[in-house]
Structure 1
Amino acid sequence: MTSAHPTRRRLLQLGTTAGAGLALSPVLPGGRPADAAPDPADTVPDPADAVPARGGAPIRPPAVPLAVRSPYLNTWLPADNLPGTWPTFWTGRVTAMTGLATVDGVPYLFMGSPSSPLDYPFPTMRQVALTVTATKSEFVLRQAGIELSVTFLSPITPGDLRRQSQPLSYVAISARSVDGRPHDVSAYLDISGEWASGDAGRSITWDQQTSDGVVSLSCRQSSPDVLAERGDTAEWGTVVLSSVARPGLTWQIGADGDVRRRIATEHTLAGTVDADKPRPINDRYPVFAFNQSLGTVTRHAGEPFVVSIGHLREPTVSYLGTRLPPLWRTYWPDGPGMIAEFHRDYPAAAARCATLDRTIERDATRAGGPRYAALCALAFRQAYAATDLVSRDGTPWAFLKEISSNGNMQTVDVTYPSMPVWLYADPAYLKLILAPVLDYAENRGFPKTFAPHDLGAHYPNADGHLSGEGEEDMPVEESANMLIMAAAYLARVPAAERRAYATAHDRIFRQWADYLVDNALDPEFQNQTDDFTGFIAHSVNLALKGIVGIGAMSLIAAAAGDAADSRRYRDTAREYIARWQRMALDPSGEHLKLAYDRDGTWSLKYNGYADAVLGLRLVPASVARLEADWYLRHVATDGIPLDIRHTYTKADWEMWTAAWLKDHTAVRDLLIDGLYRFADTSGQRVPMTDWYDVVANRQQGFQARPVVGGFFALLTL
C-alpha cells in the first residue's frame, strides 16, 4: 500500500441505520470544515428523509442480491445500506464495488466501504429506501439536493434461452433533483480485481476494449487454473465491466487509491490502463472504473447510466472429460458482440423483468399473501443463479451447483427441492437440468439400478462415478426424485412432446420405478436428502416419496401411450399407500411417525407435496388433516421443526408442506409467517439459508443454495 492509501477497508464502519454519515475526517471536500454549518442543499425539508433504510421493501433480506446470475457471478450485500459495507461473494469473501456520486463538485459515497484519499474524504449519502423484487434490488439515496436510484437487475427470461444464456447483470444509476434546484451530477462505479479469484494473492492482468459502441474493462488471471476453484470461486474466465460509449463517459484501470483520488479531485477519469501488470490482486488493488456525467439534473430523472458486470468462462464445465462451451456461444461469435447486445436490450429487459416481477408478486400474493410473495421474490434470483447454460454438441443443457453444502455437480436431491420454481416459471428449464442426468444413466455406463445422486464430486467437473465408487448413494430418494420431476415436467408440456419424452426415456424410467416397487414401501437403512440427520431405516417420509415415485411412473407410462403399465404402476402405488398409512400411524392415532418402528415420533411429511403437484391423490385427505392438526401443536417462533429430534428445520420443506396443506390455512399461514419472520430478523447476513433453528433464530448451515426454489411450491398448485 502507498502512504496515501493505508487503510482501504477500515475508514467506513457504518451501521445499518438510515442516514448514517461519515464523521471521521476533519475536513470535507472543498476545504469545508466538518463542523461547519451544513450545506443549504442538505437541509431542505423532505418527507422522504423519514423513510427507514428498508423503505417500501416487504422484507429485510438477510443479504440483498446484487449481481446474482451464475454460480460464479454471485455477489450480495450483507447489510441493509448500500454505502458502508463491501459487497461480497456468496461465501462472504469481499468482491469490492465502490460507487460515488459527484454533486456540484463534491463526491458522495453511495456504495462500498473504501478508504478515502486522506486529503479528500468522501461524505456518505443517506439511504432512504430499498426494494427487492424477483429480478432486481433498488436502492434510493439522497444527499445535497439530489435523489440517486441504484438498481441491480439480473434479468431472468423464462422461455428465452438466448437471453438467459448471457452471464451478465445490470447496474443502472439515475438521479433527479429533490430541492427544486438544478445540480451537476456524475456517477462513478468501480469493481476490484477480487472478482477474478478466490485468492487475493493471485496475479491478474487486464485490458480495455471498445467494440460496437460499448467500452469494456476486463480482468483475468495471468495463469488461470481452468475448471478449478478456490473458495468456490472460478479460477479461470474473464470478469468484464462494460458501459455504452456515450458523451460524458470516462474510464480508468489502476490502483484503487489512485483512481478514486482522480475522481475526487478531477471529477473525471483518465482513460488510461495501468501498465504495471500482471500483479497480485492485493498489490495496490487494481480497480476497473467508469464515470458518467449525468449533466444538469432537474426534478425528472434522465437517461440512466447503465453498467453491466459479467463473468465469461470458456469452457463453462466439463462432462465426463469433455469440455463444454457456454450456450451463449451458440448465438454470438464473441463476447464483445454478446455484451453489446445485452446493453442494447436494457430498456426491453427492464420492461420484461418489471412484468415478470409483477406477475410473481400477484400470483404469490394470491397463493399465500404478501409475506409469501416477499419470500418468493427473495428466492427467485438465488435459485436461477446456481445454474449454468452450456452447449453439448449444439443441444442446450443446464448444470446446477450444490452451492455451500458440498459443491456436488447436478445433485438430484438438490434439483428436487428446487423443482417448484422451474415448474412455475419455465418447465423447459427443468428438462435441461435433468438432461445430463438422463444421458449419464442411459448412455455413459452408470452401473447401478437406482438413480445417481450426482454427476461429480465438485462443480464444474462432472467426472461421474462410473466405477460405482465415491458416490453418496440415496437409492429410494434419487429414483423417486427423478420420476417425480419427469412426471411434473410432462404435465406441463404439449401432448406430442409428452409422448416423445416419455418414450425416449422409457427404459431408464422403468428401471428406477421397478427398483421402487421392490424397495420403497419399507426402505432399508438408507441415506436420504436430509443427510445431516443421518441414515435411517423404515423412514415414513422416504417411503411416501418412493410410493409417489411409483405413482409418477404411472403418469409417465400413460404419456408414452402404455395404458396397461400405467394402470399397473398406479394400482401398486394405491396398494402401497394403504399399507403405508397403517404402518405409519402412531399408536396414539394423532399423527404419523418418523419411522415405522419408532412410536411417539413425528416429522414434516413434505413429500405430500409431490403427491399434490402430480395430482395423484394417493395420500388420503384424512391423513393431511391429521398431520395439519399435529403441526399446529408444534409451532415454534420461526416455524416448525423438521422432526422431533431437533429444533432446526428446512425452509424449502416448510414451503412444500405449506403447499401440500394449503387448504388447511392455519398451518399454511403459520409456516409462511415463521419463515418470513426468520428471514426478516436473522442476524446472519448471508444469502438466504434453507437450514435454520426455529427456536434460536439462527442459521444452522447452508446458504445461497438453489433449493429456495422450493418456496414457489404454492404457485405450482
Structure 2
Amino acid sequence: MKKNLLLAFLVTATMLGCSQSNSPAFNVIKNDIRPPAYPLITIDPYTSGWSFTDNLYDSSVKHWTGKDFPLIGAIKVDNEVYRFMGTEDLELNAIAKTSEYGNWTGKYTTDKPVDTWMKNDFDDSKWKEGPAAFGTQENEVTAKTHWGSEYIWTRRVVNIEEDLKGKNVYLEYSHDDDAIIYVNGIEVVNTGNAAKKNVLIKLPENVVNSLAKGTNVIAGYCYNRVGNGLLDYGLFVEKENTTFFNKTAIQKSVDVQATQTHYVFSCGNVDLKLTFTAPLFMDDLKLMSRPINYISYEIVSADNKSHDVQLYLEASSNWALDRAYQESESEGFDNGDLSFLKTGSSTQKILAKQGDDVRIDWGYFYLATEKDKGTTSSIGDGKELRANFTNNGQKGSVEKRIGTNEKLAFTRSLGSVNKASGKFLIGYDDLYSVQYFGENLRAYWNADGKKNILDEFHKAKEEYSQLLAKCYKFDESLMTDAMAAGGKKYAELCAIAYRQAISAHKLVQAPNGDLLFLSKENFSNGSIGTVDITYPSSPLFLYYNVELAKGLLNHIFYYSESGKWAKPFAAHDIGTYPLGNGQTYGGDMPIEESGNMIIVTGAIATVEGNADYAKKHWDVLTVWTDYLVENGLDPENQLCTDDFAGHFAHNTNLSIKAIVAIASYGRLADMLGKKDVAEKYSNIAKGMAAEWVKMADDGDHYRLTFDQSGTWSQKYNMVWDKLLKLGIFPPEVAKKELAYYLTKQNKYGLPLDNREPYTKTDWIIWTATLADDQATFEKFIAPVHLFMNETTDRIPMSDWVFTDRPNQRGFQARSVVGGYFIKMLETKLNQKK
C-alpha cells in the first residue's frame, strides 16, 4: 500500500502552528501512545529533562535517573495564575538526615534476628554499631559501614522534639537491592527486587501519629542479591505555606513526536500551546551536538477577546549539580538581543566524577530569551520569585549569587493580547565532555575549543523558524516511513525512541580526527562506549547517518589497534562514563563483543556499498574473526549481551552471532576483492550453520542451549543473516522459530527465553523482523506497544521488562531503543540494488 493511502486510512492529521503567529501550519501525525515518560529536554546523558506524569504539572520535571530537575511554568491571565509545568519545591526540614546530608549512627547485624527485631522495645544491645550509609564501596552513595554479606538488619533511634500530628512527614531512602523499612514497627517500604536512590515517600496518617515526642525507631532490612549493596534512610517534615502556584491549567492534549513534544492547555480564557524541541538531525552533526533545545509557546484567546497575559519560567540550579544541595554560582546578564540566566557548581571539578546514577556538576546551565521591555529576569529564593510573579512584585536581582537550591526565572509580560507567541532557549556548556585515554575532549560542536556558547545561542535564535519547520517535516516523515515499514503501532514506538536513543550518547572528536559517538550505559552499570549497547542501538544510526554508526565503533578499534587492549577479541567498553581510559567492566564477553563489532562493520559496508571502513581495520577484524572460528560454534561458559541472565555455556543464540559475524567477514572480504578469503570464511560460516541446525534442533523449535532439550530462546541475532542477505541459515529455521514464539507470547510480549517471564523489547522487534509478512511482524509489536502504553513504571523507556505484568525489570533511558529502527533499516537495505 502506498504511503499516502496509509496516511488516509490510518492517520488523523492535526494542525499545529510552529509557534510564530504568522507562520504556516504543519501536519502532525498524531502519536496515540501514552509513553512511560515524556521527553522534554534531550541534549546528552547529563542534560536530560523528562515528565514522568501524564499531566505536565503533576510532578517535578526530572532527570532520566529520577532526580528532580525543577522546571516550573506558570501563566497569569487577567491576574489569575495557572501552573502548567512542574511543581513547586517540596520544602522540608530534617528530623533525621540521611547520610548524604548529615551523619547518623545505627545498630546493625548480618545474622538473622528474631521476628520482633523492628519493634521499638527490641533489645539490640548485642548488635554492632556503625555510621551510615551501610553498603559496598562501589555505590555512588558513600558507604561508611562496609556490608559485604547478603543480608543486613539495621536500627536507628530518632529523637523527635515537636508534635508532628496533622503534618506531612516524609521518609527518604536509598537501597540496593530488596529493602523493607519500618517506622515504629509499622512497615512503610517493601521494594522487592529493585535499586533506587533518594526515594521520597509521604508517610500515612497512622505512621505519623505513631511519631511521638522523644524516642522513635526506624528499622531497615536489605538483601544484596549481587554486586553493589546500599541502605540509607531519614525523616523529614514539610514546611508550611511555601506554595504560590496552587491552581493548575487544564491539560487538553500531549503528543510525542521524534524531535518534539507538544502540549495544549486551557488557562482560563486563553489556550496555551507549549512545544519542547530538540533539533537532533543526524545529517548535521554540528547542529545535532549543539547543546541547545527550544521551549516554544503560542497563546490564543479562547473567547476571541484580548486578555492581559504574563508568562513565568523558572529553572533550578539542580540542572548543573549532581546532588541537590551542592553549592552553586548563578547570575543573569544580557548579550546582544538575548537575556541569559546562568548557573553552575561553585567548585567546577571538571570530569571529576564517573558512575551511573551521577549527574554533571561542572560546566554551566543556561536559560535565554529575547531581550525586550516586557522581559524581566531574576535569581534567588523560589518562594520569593513566585510570590513576586503572583503579586505583581518588583523585579528580582540578577547579581551573582552563591548558595544552594538557587532558582532562575524569566517573566514575560505580553500585554493585552488575542494571540501571542515566542520561545525560550535552554542549554548546557559542559566545557569538557569526556576523557579519552587521558585527554579531555570537548563536545563536537566545539571540538577545536574556538566556539563560544553565547554565539551558539544567538545562532539557535536566528535559525529557530527554519529549524522548527524542519522538525515538523522530519517528524511527519519518520512517522510516515515507519508506518510504511511496520504499521502505526511500530511507528509510534519509533517516535518515542528517537530522542532517547540519541541523547544517551555524547558526540566528540578523537585526537586522531575520528568521530566518537559514545554511549552511556544508563541504569545498567554506567559504562562508556559499551559494544553490546552499540550493537542493539546501531539500526537507528545505520538508517540515518552511517558516519554515526562508525562513531559507535571507532573507540573500540582504536583500543585494540593501539595495543592498549591486547586480547584476541573485542573489549566490552572503554571505561565508566565520562572517563574512557580503558575497560572497567568486571568481565569479558569475547564472542559477544567480537561478533557485534564485525556484524555492525558488515552492516556499514552494506549501507555504503563499499568496504572501505572495514579495510582500515582489516587486521583486527581478522584476529576477531579467527577467534570466532575457533570458539564460536559451541560457546564456553560466558556472558552475552543479556548479562543479567548470568553466565551459561552452549548458548545457541550467541553461536548464531559468531556464525553471522564470520559470514559478514567473508562478505567484507568479497567486497574488497579478496576472493579466496571470502570463499574460505563464507564456507566456514555455512558449515557452522549446518552444524548449528543439527545441534540446536528440538522438534518444533530450537533450543536455548545445545545441551538442554525442552528449552527455547529468541534467536534475534539471526536477523542480520536476513538483512545483509548472507544466506547462511536455511529460511525454514526462522519460520519454525516464529511459529513457536507465537505460542509463547504473554500479554506484554515474548519472553527472552524459557527461564523467566521478562524480555528485552529491542530484541522482540529484531525477532519480529525475521518475519516475511506484515501480519506476523505486527503480532509481536502489539504487546510491546501495549506495555509502553500501560506500564505503571513512569520512567524513560525501559528495554528490560516483564511480559506478564506492566512493570520494568531494570534499566531505563538506554540508547538500545535505537534498535527499534531495525525494521526501517530492512526496508532501506531492500531498496538498495
TM range (shorter): 0.7 to 0.9
More helix by share: 1
Q: Supply the distance in 1 between the matched residues of 2:559 and 2:460 (Cα, whole angstroms).
A: 34
Matched, 1:450 2:424: no
Match of 2:403 in 1: 279
Q: Supply the distance in 2 between the matched residues of 1:395 and 1:481 (Cα, whole angstroms).
A: 20
Matched, 1:253 2:350: no
Q: Secondary structure at the match of 1:89?
A: coil
Match 1:370 to one of 479, 488, 492: 488
Q: Secondary structure at the match of 1:186?
A: strand
Match of 1:428 in 2: 547
Match 2:785 to one of 656, 661, 676: 676
Q: Supply the distance in 2 between the matched residues of 1:212 and 1:524 (Cα, whole angstroms).
A: 64
TM-fit CA distance, 1:424: 1.6
CA separation of 1:118/1:459 partners in 2, compared to 1, >3 Å: closer, same or farther? closer
TM-fit CA distance, 1:184: 2.1
Match of 1:25 in 2: none
After superposition, residues 29-108 of structure 1 pair within 5 angstroms as 57-108=31-82
Match 1:545 to one of 625, 635, 657: 657
Q: Deviations over 1:529-582 (max 9, x none)?
A: 001111111111000010000011112223333222122211111111111111
Match of 2:745 in 1: 635
TM-fit CA distance, 1:360: 1.0
Structure 1 window deviating more from structure 2 (485-494 vs 169-178): it is 485-494
Q: Supply the distance in 2 between the matched residues of 1:573 and 1:404 (Cα, whole angstroms).
A: 36
Structure 1 window deviating more from structure 2 (327-336 vs 603-612): it is 327-336
Match of 2:347 in 1: 223
Q: Secondary structure at the match of 2:529?
A: coil
Q: Supply the distance in 2 between the matched residues of 1:647 and 1:575 (Cα, whole angstroms).
A: 34
State the superposition RMSD in angstroms. 1.9
Q: Deviations over 1:91-133 (max 9, x none)?
A: 1111101001111222211111116976965421100000110
CA separation of 1:319/1:353 partners in 2, compared to 1, >3 Å: closer, same or farther? same
Matched, 1:288 2:408: yes
Q: Deviations over 1:307-346 (max 9, x none)?
A: 1221221211001111111111147521111121112111
Assess if the C-alpha contact under 8 Å between 1:639 and 1:670 holds in 2.
no
Match 1:327 to one of 440, 444, 456: 444
The one-letter code matched in structure 2 to 1:241 is L
Assess if the C-alpha contact under 8 Å between 2:527 and 2:585 holds in 1.
no
Match of 1:415 in 2: 534
The one-letter code matched in structure 2 to 1:256 is G
TM-fit CA distance, 1:607: 0.6
After superposition, residues 386-425 of structure 1 pair within 5 angstroms as 386-393=504-511, 394-425=513-544
TM-fit CA distance, 1:272: 2.1
TM-fit CA distance, 1:68: 1.5
Assess if the C-alpha contact under 8 Å between 1:631 and 1:667 holds in 2.
no
User: Where in structure 1 are there 5+ consecutive unaligned residues?
Assistant: 1-54
CA separation of 1:342/1:624 partners in 2, compared to 1, >3 Å: closer, same or farther? same
The one-letter code matched in structure 1 to 2:577 is Y
TM-fit CA distance, 1:71: 0.4
Q: Supply the distance in 1 between the matched residues of 2:593 and 2:506 (Cα, whole angstroms).
A: 22
Structure 1 window deviating more from structure 2 (214-223 vs 540-549): it is 214-223
Q: Supply the distance in 2 between the matched residues of 1:338 and 1:56 (Cα, whole angstroms).
A: 32
Match of 1:596 in 2: 706
Match of 1:691 in 2: 800
Match of 1:626 in 2: 736
Matched, 1:608 2:718: yes
Match 2:270 to one of 146, 151, 160: 146
CA separation of 1:625/1:244 partners in 2, compared to 1, >3 Å: closer, same or farther? same
Q: Supply the distance in 1 between the matched residues of 2:475 and 2:250 (Cα, whole angstroms).
A: 27
After superposition, residues 112-151 of structure 1 pair within 5 angstroms as 112-114=86-88, 121-151=245-275
TM-fit CA distance, 1:208: 1.9
The one-letter code matched in structure 2 to 1:398 is F
Matched, 1:312 2:429: yes
Structure 1 window deviating more from structure 2 (81-90 vs 682-691): it is 81-90
Structure 1 window deviating more from structure 2 (121-130 vs 534-543): it is 121-130
Matched, 1:482 2:592: no
Q: Secondary structure at the match of 2:342?
A: strand
Match of 1:353 in 2: 471
The one-letter code matched in structure 2 to 1:705 is R
Q: Supply the distance in 1 between the matched residues of 2:267 and 2:65 (Cα, whole angstroms).
A: 32
CA separation of 1:91/1:120 partners in 2, compared to 1, >3 Å: closer, same or farther? closer
Q: Deviations over 1:379-415 (max 9, x none)?
A: 0000001111113235432211111100001000011
Q: Supply the distance in 1 between the matched residues of 2:816 and 2:387 (Cα, whole angstroms).
A: 43
Match 2:367 to one of 236, 241, 244: 241
Match 1:580 to one of 668, 688, 692: 692
Assess if the C-alpha contact under 8 Å between 1:451 and 1:479 holds in 2.
yes
CA separation of 1:213/1:494 partners in 2, compared to 1, >3 Å: closer, same or farther? farther
Q: Secondary structure at the match of 1:102?
A: strand
User: Where in structure 2 are there 5+ consecutive unaligned residues?
Assistant: 1-28, 90-239, 827-833
Q: Secondary structure at the match of 1:233?
A: coil
Q: Supply the distance in 1 between the matched residues of 2:284 and 2:493 (Cα, whole angstroms).
A: 25
Match of 2:670 in 1: 558
Match of 2:764 in 1: 654
Assess if the C-alpha contact under 8 Å between 1:154 and 1:169 holds in 2.
yes
Assess if the C-alpha contact under 8 Å between 2:380 and 2:396 holds in 1.
no
Q: Supply the distance in 1 between the matched residues of 2:324 and 2:423 (Cα, whole angstroms).
A: 28
Assess if the C-alpha contact under 8 Å between 1:684 and 1:698 holds in 2.
yes
Structure 1 window deviating more from structure 2 (349-358 vs 612-621): it is 612-621
The one-letter code matched in structure 1 to 2:535 is Y
TM-fit CA distance, 1:666: 4.3
Q: Deviations over 1:367-390 (max 9, x none)?
A: 221111110011000000111111
Assess if the C-alpha contact under 8 Å between 2:750 and 2:803 holds in 1.
yes
Q: Supply the distance in 2 between the matched residues of 1:568 and 1:292 (Cα, whole angstroms).
A: 70
Q: Supply the distance in 2 between the matched residues of 1:451 and 1:118 (Cα, whole angstroms).
A: 55
CA separation of 1:696/1:121 partners in 2, compared to 1, >3 Å: closer, same or farther? closer
The one-letter code matched in structure 2 to 1:366 is A
TM-fit CA distance, 1:634: 0.7
Q: Secondary structure at the match of 2:496?
A: helix
Assess if the C-alpha contact under 8 Å between 1:450 and 1:476 holds in 2.
yes
Match of 1:30 in 2: none
Identity %: 35
Q: Deviations over 1:280-323 (max 9, x none)?
A: 23xxxx1111122334332xx44x32112212212110011111
After superposition, residues 120-199 of structure 1 pair within 5 angstroms as 121-199=245-323
Assess if the C-alpha contact under 8 Å between 1:584 and 1:592 holds in 2.
yes
Assess if the C-alpha contact under 8 Å between 1:292 and 1:305 holds in 2.
no
TM-fit CA distance, 1:664: 4.3
Match of 1:460 in 2: 578
TM-fit CA distance, 1:137: 0.7
Q: Secondary structure at the match of 1:328?
A: helix
Assess if the C-alpha contact under 8 Å between 1:173 and 1:187 holds in 2.
no
TM-fit CA distance, 1:494: 5.2
Q: Supply the distance in 1 between the matched residues of 2:529 and 2:516 (Cα, whole angstroms).
A: 11
Matched, 1:505 2:617: yes
CA separation of 1:560/1:189 partners in 2, compared to 1, >3 Å: closer, same or farther? same
Matched, 1:714 2:688: no
What is the TM-score with the length of structure 1 in the denominator?
0.87
Assess if the C-alpha contact under 8 Å between 1:502 and 1:559 holds in 2.
no
